[in-house]
Amino acid sequence: MIYRTATPAMAAEIQNVLHTTIKTVYSKYYPKEVVDFFCNYHNREHILECITSRNMGVLLDEQTIVGTGCFDYNHITGVYVLPCFQNQGCGSQILDCLEAEIAKNSPVAILEASLPAVFLYEHRGYKTVGHGVLKLENDVKLVYEIMEKKLKK
């Protein structure tokens, strides 16, 4: 598999990866309001903004996008892998690339981890440094971990 910078032509396929992963995985951990929040957040406009930043990449299996990752300075803003490709090292491959880019400018990577992703990040050396809560509709709360990792140049 190859990780490369995302292009605008990939936006629809990236959105499909994001929404498929969110609907399949997050629905096991979170109520519908949280799933809807993430799907609404990862709309086409937001994806195109991330692509334009040149900080969004895709993991390709042949010509198929199986995962995506994005960062902003030292903040990993998202890592998503299609459910059928999870537990095969795809998330780690994306994180390797994101961390390498971040390490060029910062000694620390930070991220907000969803409940399903905490184990992956802990396995990679991230430590919880705080917790966040976002209030959504119907009095639903999105709870997440704030994590960081010291990087090596």
How far, CA to CA in Å, does 56 sit from each of 43, 59, 103, 134, 135?
A: 14, 10, 16, 24, 27
What pLDDT does residue 115 have?
A: 87
Work out the burial of residue 18: count CB atoms within 10 Å of its CB; fewer than 13 is exposed, 13-18 middle, 19 or more buried: buried
With a cut of 90, say whether residue 152 has pLDDT above it. no
Q: How far apart are CA 20 and CA 23, in angstroms?
A: 5
What pLDDT does residue 116 have?
A: 86
With a cut of 80, say whether residue 153 has pLDDT above it. no
Q: How far apart are CA 43 and CA 48, in angstroms?
A: 9
Question: Listing from the earlier edge strand, what are the strands of the sheet with 127-135?
Answer: 2-5, 56-61, 64-72, 75-81, 108-113, 141-150, 127-135
What pLDDT does residue 95 have?
A: 96
Instruction: Read off the pTM.
Output: 0.91
Query: 143 — phi, psi (to 5°)?
Result: -105, 135
Query: 73 — phi, psi (to 5°)?
Result: 55, -105
- What tens digit of pLDDT does each residue of 87-123 get? 999 999 999 999 999 999 999 999 999 888 898 899 9
With a cut of 80, say whether residue 132 has pLDDT above it. yes
What pLDDT does residue 151 have?
A: 95
- What tens digit of pLDDT does each residue of 21-70 get? 999 999 999 999 999 999 999 999 999 999 999 999 999 999 999 999 99
- Judged by phi (left if over 0) then psi (alpha if -120 to 50, else beta), residue 148 lies in beta
